[in-house]
Structure 1
Amino acid sequence: MKNSFFKAIPSGETLPINNIHAVSVSMPTLKDVIGYEEQDEKTLKVIKSGYPRFILHPYLKKLSEYIKKKYDVCDEYEVVVLSSQKAAKLISDKYYIYNKIEIDEPFGVILVQNGTSQLQKVLTYIQHVGCNLSSRLAEEYLYKVKEIDTLHKEELEKEEKAKDIVINTLANAYKQPYENVCLTPSGMNAIYSVIRGINSIQSHNGRTVLVQFGWLYLDTMNIVNHHYQRQKIFKDIKRLDLLENYLKQKGLKVAAIITEIPTNPQLKTVDIKALRKLCDKYNIPLIIDTTFATPYNLDLTSYADIFVESLTKFACGNADVLMGAIILNKKHNLSHMNEEFFQHCEPIFIKDIQRLAVEIKDYKKRVKQISKNTIALVNYLKTCPYIKNLYYCMDEQNKDNYCQTIIDDNSYVGIVSVTFNKPFEEVYDKLNFAKGPSLGTEFTLLMPYTYLAHYDLIKSEKGHKELEEIDLPINLLRISVGIEPIEEIINEFKRIE
């Protein structure tokens, strides 16, 4: 067989390669993945950076050290930097942390006592709320105080045009006015802000239950746990009958329903028309995470009250900007309350917006090419004897898949998940694609989803049962299809035949 078009990327290398602002990291073997999850010293030593909400960026570490010296903070305390002073106050109030030193910086700083469980709680909450400090802001700060010698070279849009380019692109894609779009420093911060907004609006109406429909992304569920004491989870997105029965009893208590279309990583899709009818019947706002669908593959403007999207994924396409967005639907009854939702959003560093403004110009073109490649890849994988299960959206032959009711130009969402009839480690290690967290990149990116998202469940018998209950295989490989020549993508998979 001819040499591979794709080249193995060393463990710990940034994805994209040689980019200090990369949000993914190369994990080329399953041992690397397990070593990362087990916090193996040898594995962690080579990791240059990772997804910013999970791994502290090296510039943020360096900035924390600089702040510690600048304010003569004793070793008893850990310096934690955040996206804003507002975020610092939020977390300080939540965990009863009050800085004993007056710190004056253009971002948030809290001092957390070492050797206590409080530090881990704080870091976890920052991860869930998505109020991490921008690596580009840290870079610029460190450069100005001469702690680093160079700035990363990258193409940036002009500062005065950047925000309008990003917001106008999203407003046009979602068919909404400019003022109905708000940018956030991460997709999780978008979800957090919406949950806070829904809570403040609906609690006055006696609506105190938030419904999660489908097994949602882990941190989405964690945000709900933080802010809703009363919640109801329906794990199977196909069992709309269970939701309907619940709403007959509790519909007037439900503050909102939140779901993903399609779900991550099994690519399941709810009967969206029927779900919308239920929401209308009980006057319940519907929040849809459209990160996988994008506004260019699935037209959901007739269904959602609120859209949330992680712009880090397909909108960016290069895995080097952490950002999200809230889009309020003018067709429904919450769009006039934009201040209620937008006030909880964290500020975004201008250089992140400038970088995304360059990348988002190709958003539609990128998604359409990825969709085209996905159709061809799915057709190939259907013929492969080594494939055990194949999950994708859209399958026009599957009458249970309601995506076909909202499909645009016969598009396929650019994610495919598979399990194999071969040993998972053997297959994973052999493929030369980029391998690590995140998705939506122009380069094909593989992720051993369950290992990286639910490793704690893999380690116990109880966890195995929970994974079975939600139909999530341990050895599932999520494929984020890129824009490379499709014949080369298929040829790489042929290497495992």
Structure 2
Amino acid sequence: MYAWRITGFGISSRLANKCLQHVPSLLSEDPELFEIDRLKEVAVSSLELKAFNKNADTRLRDRLAYLQNFGRINKQAPAVTKDMVFLYPTGMTAIYEAHQLLLRLRHSKTVVFGFLYELTPKLLKMYGPGFEFFGNGTAEELEKFESVLQNQEKEDPLNRVQAVWGECASNPLLKTVDLEKLRQLADQYGFFIVVDDTIGSVANIDVLDVADIIVTSLTKSFSGYANVMAGSITLNPASRYYSELHEELHRSYQNTLFVEDAIQLELNSRDYLVRTSMINETASYLVKFLKGYLNKPTPLSSVYYPETCHSSANYRRHLRANVTGQPHLAGFGGLFTVEFVNIPTATAFFDALDVHKGPSLGAQYTLAQPYVQTVFQKEKAWAATYGLKETIVRISVGLEDKGLLKNAFVAAMDAAMSVYLEGTTCYLEGNC
């Protein structure tokens, strides 16, 4: 089960349901029943579904290529085409296959720079010959990494770094590392750069100037309706490694995205740009509102969002240009995280916040998740060393009316404030 989770393999609920329809014939000892069922399957799957699949697959890859070219920062760079986009059944499968691709080309250690989605470092560490983790992604860690590269060049030039993985922005503290500096180091020392653009989202950010490979969980905002899983790898045609990457991936690639999942994803993603614009606006609105609590005595201690955090300049370098005649404006995404002074106030806020509760992000409805409590339950002390406290609540903004959402956050902050004031009174009166 752990292997399925970390690599993204397994089967989707649609595929499972399709398989269950054929269980009676598999269990039957009647050869005639088996043959009838087999013929029905051939008639439907091979003729109709394969035709649908080819159409959905082509449309999806065309759409993803279009989005990579939409509002490009470097308009002189070669365009992405559908042949440079590869689909997978989950985001983690895309990450796993990108890692396997690089291992086949260069079997050497991987570096993670910044705090990535929790399963990515675990996968890279489990399926590789070496692994280094620079989880804070700060300028100081960048200097340390550069020093490691310099020493390695002198002492062991054959044991080079294979690739550096990063996110734009990170999950869950929404920081953006200095991808330009990493690109400079990659060019100097000859390693790949892989960027996961899931959080920032391809509608908002363009990382083709820094990434050789882009991995994306299409399950999130690209789908937008929390009812289908998928992932993608996009190869950068401007990368000096493009030819070898494309040749090897094309040689080994098998499209295992189930046909009905592909069809659902294609339908969902038709309004992706419209949804992204709405979510950008609502998230920015809520963050600005919540940051107002930081200017007065309240239990809210921090609000993390790419637009307002200390690494905002790094994110802004990758904002897509506005396209004349297009209503969509690139923004800062729909994910933000709030941090409280203690667990009781964080608990009161979470319990009182009238939105859906759970993991995932990019859905049509707002989701709240007590991130460390659910993701790092057994690794709280370790997570805290990278700034992830038990008192954070991650928010994924949905398509609800922003005024209604603001009211929900006001009520939740009122609940947290009540607990905070009770604790303050208790402390002052010496009754704690």
2:59 is equivalent to residue 137 of structure 1 = no
Q: Which residue identity does 2:331 align to in structure 1?
A: S
Which runs of structure 2 are paired with 1:244-393 in the superposition (5 Å)? 244-250=146-152, 252=157, 253-336=160-243, 337-341=245-249, 343=252, 347-384=256-293, 385-393=298-306
The answer to whether the 8 Å contact 2:175/2:311 transfers is: no
The answer to whether the 8 Å contact 1:328/1:334 transfers is: no
Q: Which residue identity does 1:420 align to in structure 2?
A: F
**TM-score scaled by length of structure 2:** 0.78
Aligned to 2:370: 448
2:393 is equivalent to residue 477 of structure 1 = yes
The CA deviation at 1:274 is: 1.5
CA-to-aligned-CA distance 1:190-220 (integer Å, 9 cap, x gap): 11101111011013xxxx1111111222211
2:307 is equivalent to residue 394 of structure 1 = yes
The answer to whether the 8 Å contact 2:177/2:311 transfers is: no
SS in 1 for 2:379: helix
The answer to whether the 8 Å contact 1:193/1:345 transfers is: no
Aligned to 1:170: 64
The answer to whether the 8 Å contact 2:277/2:330 transfers is: no
Aligned to 1:432: 354
CA-to-aligned-CA distance 1:375-430 (integer Å, 9 cap, x gap): 111110111234211100122x8466411222234611210001124622221111
Once residues 261 and 453 of structure 1 are traced to their aligned partners in structure 2, the CA distance between those partners, rounded to angstroms, is 20
The answer to whether the 8 Å contact 1:189/1:346 transfers is: no
Aligned to 1:41: none
Once residues 52 and 286 of structure 2 are traced to their aligned partners in structure 1, the CA distance between those partners, rounded to angstroms, is 38
The answer to whether the 8 Å contact 2:299/2:345 transfers is: no
The verdict on how the C-alpha distance between 1:393 and 1:125 changes in structure 2, with shifts beyond 3 A counting, is same
CA-to-aligned-CA distance 1:322-366 (integer Å, 9 cap, x gap): 110000000102332324235266611100000000001111111
Once residues 267 and 93 of structure 2 are traced to their aligned partners in structure 1, the CA distance between those partners, rounded to angstroms, is 22
The answer to whether the 8 Å contact 2:175/2:312 transfers is: no
The answer to whether the 8 Å contact 2:205/2:330 transfers is: no
Q: Which residue identity does 1:167 align to in structure 2?
A: R
Which runs of structure 2 are paired with 1:59-208 in the superposition (5 Å)? 123-145=1-23, 158-175=52-69, 176-203=80-107, 208=108
2:315 is equivalent to residue 403 of structure 1 = yes
Q: Which residue identity does 2:142 align to in structure 1?
A: L
Count matched residues.
356
**TM-score scaled by length of structure 1:** 0.68
Q: Which residue identity does 2:314 align to in structure 1?
A: Y
Percent sequence identity over aligned pairs: 29
The verdict on how the C-alpha distance between 1:184 and 1:164 changes in structure 2, with shifts beyond 3 A counting, is same
The verdict on how the C-alpha distance between 1:373 and 1:144 changes in structure 2, with shifts beyond 3 A counting, is same
The answer to whether the 8 Å contact 2:218/2:229 transfers is: yes
The CA deviation at 1:467 is: 2.2
User: Mean alpha-carbon deviation: is it higher for 125-134 or for 398-407?
Assistant: 398-407
Aligned to 1:83: none
User: Mean alpha-carbon deviation: is it higher for 343-352 or for 216-225?
Assistant: 343-352
2:410 is equivalent to residue 494 of structure 1 = yes
SS in 1 for 2:21: helix
Once residues 263 and 399 of structure 1 are traced to their aligned partners in structure 2, the CA distance between those partners, rounded to angstroms, is 11
Q: Which residue identity does 1:475 align to in structure 2?
A: T
Aligned to 2:72: none
SS in 2 for 1:446: strand
The answer to whether the 8 Å contact 2:203/2:330 transfers is: no
Once residues 83 and 56 of structure 2 are traced to their aligned partners in structure 1, the CA distance between those partners, rounded to angstroms, is 16
CA-to-aligned-CA distance 1:256-275 (integer Å, 9 cap, x gap): 11111111000111112212
The answer to whether the 8 Å contact 2:337/2:393 transfers is: yes
Once residues 399 and 432 of structure 1 are traced to their aligned partners in structure 2, the CA distance between those partners, rounded to angstroms, is 30
The answer to whether the 8 Å contact 2:164/2:194 transfers is: yes
The answer to whether the 8 Å contact 1:258/1:287 transfers is: yes
The CA deviation at 1:145 is: 4.1
Once residues 444 and 377 of structure 1 are traced to their aligned partners in structure 2, the CA distance between those partners, rounded to angstroms, is 12
Q: Which residue identity does 1:360 align to in structure 2?
A: S
The answer to whether the 8 Å contact 2:176/2:311 transfers is: no
Q: Which residue identity does 1:477 align to in structure 2?
A: V
The verdict on how the C-alpha distance between 1:345 and 1:389 changes in structure 2, with shifts beyond 3 A counting, is farther
Structure 2: gaps (5+ residues): 26-48, 70-79, 321-328, 415-432
Structure 1: gaps (5+ residues): 1-122, 148-155, 459-463
Aligned to 1:415: 335
The verdict on how the C-alpha distance between 1:448 and 1:321 changes in structure 2, with shifts beyond 3 A counting, is same
CA-to-aligned-CA distance 1:125-169 (integer Å, 9 cap, x gap): 12111111121111122234469xxxxxxxx99545211121111
CA-to-aligned-CA distance 1:241-265 (integer Å, 9 cap, x gap): 1221111122650111111111100
Once residues 209 and 132 of structure 1 are traced to their aligned partners in structure 2, the CA distance between those partners, rounded to angstroms, is 27
SS in 2 for 1:126: helix
The answer to whether the 8 Å contact 1:270/1:401 transfers is: no
Once residues 323 and 130 of structure 1 are traced to their aligned partners in structure 2, the CA distance between those partners, rounded to angstroms, is 9
SS in 2 for 1:390: strand
Once residues 455 and 419 of structure 1 are traced to their aligned partners in structure 2, the CA distance between those partners, rounded to angstroms, is 17
User: Mean alpha-carbon deviation: is it higher for 339-348 or for 272-281?
Assistant: 339-348
Once residues 330 and 85 of structure 2 are traced to their aligned partners in structure 1, the CA distance between those partners, rounded to angstroms, is 27
Aligned to 2:126: 226
Once residues 255 and 372 of structure 2 are traced to their aligned partners in structure 1, the CA distance between those partners, rounded to angstroms, is 30
The verdict on how the C-alpha distance between 1:358 and 1:410 changes in structure 2, with shifts beyond 3 A counting, is closer
The answer to whether the 8 Å contact 2:196/2:214 transfers is: yes
Q: Which residue identity does 1:492 align to in structure 2?
A: A
Q: Which of the two has higher C-alpha Rg?
A: 2
